[in-house]
Chains A and B, each alone.
Chain A
């Protein structure tokens, strides 16, 4: 084979990255920094980039954006991303990103670091309406970057038919680890696990939180993964995985807890708000009940998941974008979103209305009081995925060793 052809073949991979990395940017240097408090203003049309969980979310976002566009007279295009992270990165690299976009907390620090984001949180007229724990989730280096779009927490979901069949009553609904242990025991049969969840920190972490542990301190300044509390939480999970009363969804042959739960492979699962929509769509015959997670040795604990509306530093029309955000995060609009596709409004003023609209799901909203978010430090995302990789074999490994690795990895990225 000709050597030149060989080089051409060998560099194909590199080319791919080069092309997508620099796609559309050419060689011009169009990234500009705007000063901190000033928002750019022009009559440019806006672009909103979002990742839809399904048609319901797609329609809801498009309707809301269209309604604002009509009201304000500014053209807005809403683009559904197929791969949000990749499309965002391409936008930032090209210097012409979408003006407004969904942004996950674990990505904020990275984009804030390279100046892609415009911190606008403190400019919001409804700033004080957001739940403080959510605001904290989107604060990097003391700056409130972006408005929480909505949020979800984890709760315990119980299959009521199986519950009754096992002879359990409302009085048996677990409020402590011991009671959870007893209930899981009663519900476990040959073909069914008592409790199931995915093998990831995003679920297993609730036990660490209930034992009083966390990965980083509340201000995100210090790694505290290697603590006796975290070990206790993981040991609790490990012993039950070994005993067979808990089982990872993947070990049951399901993609996630909701699927194993819907198929009846487990009688309880730990999942967030999204499970209601999924059960309705895929397993409409399953009867279930949502209750708060049990209290651990250190009290209540759950995890919260949220996204925010990120604003691009390179957006030519930030003033209008800010107005659009205020519209999208208003209590009224968020309740509409919630009704359409599930998550809870990120503003406290919508709380009461949400409770009365969803009387069966209040356990999720109650979680907001004591929920922990995901660490937001640059690189924390990767540490967690490494932790998740290890959690898959929790049954056969030593929690303490695992947490030491996490601690070492976290120390490299935190602070």
Chain B
């Protein structure tokens, strides 16, 4: 853009700003209800909770009354380095939820993308039917699905019946606290971990226990999360797929790329914004698991389905340690923000790598030479 052009655009913006002033106040007027509602029910409560996490509020009367004192980072210290049960519980909850996230996020993303690709195909008969039925679990209440899951995965439930047809003895799903990595290891004869792993601990949980994998009960919840969320994410992918221009794909086809290559090199890179949305929403959802635990397992068996969100609730409402409960939810918030920032960085738009660039140049030169 030339200097003259830039100057003229500045003049233009000054001229329109007068006319837009009226629009501005109208805009504020229209957004005011939402700002007030969000402020009152989201922003103010968050600040109140932040205060509670730094206070010794005991749960009686207002947290802003005279009797409530500021205790600095005491609550945070208690759950991250206190050495007692609160620390261990927090460690266990993080362990459980980390395994949950590690398994749920890739599975649900892959499954929802796969489903979206399936129902996006023009050739599929009864597309609408499949779209609706894949989406159906997402609109069903999570409480209802949890109850359904408890029945399906009971020791004599449908899942174990089906497993018995193929000669497998299904586990007692929701009552089995064994971690699946530990189960797999004990199958090859490793019952106890090496001293290196069992003696050292972090947040009151030994390294060996950090590596236990999700418990069998948690595995059932993981399957449930994948089942219920993939429909929603399928919809996001589907919307993104439909907005892709078919030209690019066609160009790839003309160049002789196989279906597989076209998916990896053409479709998937174009889906990056949708992928980021799905991964972020999945990540937030995964670190906030609450309803399934509250209605289904209450953290059991053996605390293996305890999650930070549920622990926060329990510390506050059952154990009357409101400061710790609030502190846990803020640590959770930081975890989510940190992971999202990492994800944003990992999925950023990148220039073509130098190594690859050379390839492009060479092809261009060859093409140029040919013409």
Q: Give residues in A with beta carbon < 8 Å to B.
A: 1, 6-15, 17-22, 25-31, 85-86, 89, 92-93, 95, 107, 110-111, 113-116, 250-253, 378-379, 381-383, 386, 389-390, 392-393, 409, 412
Q: Which residues of B contact A8 (CB under 8 A)?
A: 38, 42
Give min CB distance, B212 to chain A, whole Å: 12
B231 beta carbon closer than 8 Å to chain A = no
Contact check, B60 vs A31: say whether CB atoms are below 8 A apart: yes
Q: State the 7 A-B residue pairs at the shortest beta-carbon distance, nearest first.
A: A31-B61, A114-B58, A253-B155, A18-B49, A18-B45, A29-B65, A110-B320
Give min CB distance, B70 to chain A, whole Å: 16
Contact check, B52 vs A110: say whether CB atoms are below 8 A apart: no
CA–CA, A86 and B315, complex, Å = 11
Residue of A nearest to B281 (CB): A9
CA–CA, A408 and B280, complex, Å = 40
B333 beta carbon closer than 8 Å to chain A = yes
B120 beta carbon closer than 8 Å to chain A = no
CA–CA, A92 and B45, complex, Å = 18
Contact check, A89 vs B316: say whether CB atoms are below 8 A apart: yes
Contact check, A13 vs B320: say whether CB atoms are below 8 A apart: no
With A10-B284, A15-B49, A22-B45 as contacts: A389 and B60 at CB distance below 8 Å = no
Contact partner of A86 (CB less than 8 A), chosen from B38, B276, B284, B317, is B317
With A18-B45, A392-B302, A412-B85 as contacts: A250 and B175 at CB distance below 8 Å = yes
Give min CB distance, B339 to chain A, whole Å: 10
Residue of B nearest to A97 (CB): B60
Give min CB distance, A267 to chain B, whole Å: 19
| Known A115-B60, A392-B175, A412-B84; further 17 A-B contacts with Cβ < 8 A | A7-B337, A10-B340, A15-B42, A17-B313, A21-B59, A30-B62, A31-B60, A31-B65, A92-B61, A93-B61, A95-B62, A110-B319, A111-B320, A253-B155, A379-B319, A386-B89, A392-B300
Q: Which residues of A contact B38 (CB under 8 A)?
A: 8
Contact check, B61 vs A389: say whether CB atoms are below 8 A apart: no
Contact check, A21 vs B52: say whether CB atoms are below 8 A apart: yes
Give min CB distance, A151 to chain B, whole Å: 22
Give min CB distance, A414 to chain B, whole Å: 12
CA–CA, A86 and B67, complex, Å = 22
Q: In this complex, which of B49, B50, B155 has the most chain A Cβ atoms within 10 angstroms of its Cβ?
A: B49
Q: In this complex, which of A13, A31, A393 has the most chain B Cβ atoms within 10 angstroms of its Cβ?
A: A13
Contact check, A250 vs B172: say whether CB atoms are below 8 A apart: yes
B63 beta carbon closer than 8 Å to chain A = yes
A-B contact pairs, 25 of them (CB 8 A): A9-B284, A10-B340, A14-B49, A14-B332, A15-B49, A17-B312, A17-B325, A18-B45, A21-B59, A21-B326, A22-B48, A29-B65, A31-B61, A89-B317, A92-B60, A93-B59, A93-B61, A114-B320, A379-B319, A382-B89, A382-B319, A386-B89, A389-B302, A389-B303, A390-B302
Contact check, A29 vs B316: say whether CB atoms are below 8 A apart: no
CA–CA, A8 and B42, complex, Å = 8
Residue-wise, chain B 152-178 has the 8 Å CB interface mask toward A (1 for contact) of: 001110000000000000001001010
Contact check, A389 vs B300: say whether CB atoms are below 8 A apart: yes
Contact check, B61 vs A25: say whether CB atoms are below 8 A apart: yes
CB interface residues, B 44-90, toward A, < 8 Å: 45-46, 48-50, 52, 58-67, 84-85, 88-89
Give min CB distance, A229 to chain B, whole Å: 24
Residue of B nearest to A9 (CB): B284
With A14-B49, A14-B329, A409-B85 as contacts: A19 and B319 at CB distance below 8 Å = no
Residue-wise, chain B 292-305 has the 8 Å CB interface mask toward A (1 for contact) of: 00000000111100
B149 beta carbon closer than 8 Å to chain A = no
CA–CA, A92 and B59, complex, Å = 7
Contact check, A19 vs B45: say whether CB atoms are below 8 A apart: yes
CA–CA, A116 and B332, complex, Å = 30
Give min CB distance, B264 to chain A, whole Å: 24
Contact partner of B85 (CB less than 8 A), chosen from A13, A26, A116, A379, is A379
B118 beta carbon closer than 8 Å to chain A = no
Contact check, A11 vs B319: say whether CB atoms are below 8 A apart: no
Residue-wise, chain B 84-105 has the 8 Å CB interface mask toward A (1 for contact) of: 1100110000000000000000
Contact check, B59 vs A17: say whether CB atoms are below 8 A apart: no
Q: How many A-B residue pairs have CB under 8 A?
A: 161
Q: Which residues of B contact A9 (CB under 8 A)?
A: 281, 284
Contact check, B301 vs A389: say whether CB atoms are below 8 A apart: yes
B41 beta carbon closer than 8 Å to chain A = yes
Contact partner of B319 (CB less than 8 A), chosen from A17, A381, A390, A392, is A381
Q: Which residues of B contact A13 (CB under 8 A)?
A: 288, 290, 309, 312, 329, 332-333
B330 beta carbon closer than 8 Å to chain A = yes
Contact check, B154 vs A253: say whether CB atoms are below 8 A apart: yes
Residue of A nearest to B279 (CB): A1
CA–CA, A351 and B281, complex, Å = 60
Contact check, B337 vs A392: say whether CB atoms are below 8 A apart: no
Residue of B nearest to A26 (CB): B62
B336 beta carbon closer than 8 Å to chain A = yes
CA–CA, A17 and B309, complex, Å = 10
Q: Which residues of B contact A107 (CB under 8 A)?
A: 318
B322 beta carbon closer than 8 Å to chain A = yes
Q: Which residues of B contact A30 (CB under 8 A)?
A: 61-62
B17 beta carbon closer than 8 Å to chain A = no
Give min CB distance, B330 to chain A, whole Å: 6
Q: In this complex, which of B38, B67, B281 has the most chain A Cβ atoms within 10 angstroms of its Cβ?
A: B67
Contact check, B48 vs A386: say whether CB atoms are below 8 A apart: no
Q: Which residues of A contact B133 (CB under 8 A)?
A: none
With A6-B337, A89-B316 as contacts: A14 and B46 at CB distance below 8 Å = yes
Q: Which residues of B contact A28 (CB under 8 A)?
A: 62
Q: Which residues of B contact A17 (CB under 8 A)?
A: 49, 312-313, 316, 325-326, 329
Residue-wise, chain B 321-363 has the 8 Å CB interface mask toward A (1 for contact) of: 0100110011011001100100000000000000000000000
Residue of A nearest to B313 (CB): A17
Q: Which residues of A contact B277 (CB under 8 A)?
A: 1
CA–CA, A19 and B322, complex, Å = 13
Contact check, B280 vs A6: say whether CB atoms are below 8 A apart: yes
With A13-B333, A17-B312 as contacts: A1 and B276 at CB distance below 8 Å = yes
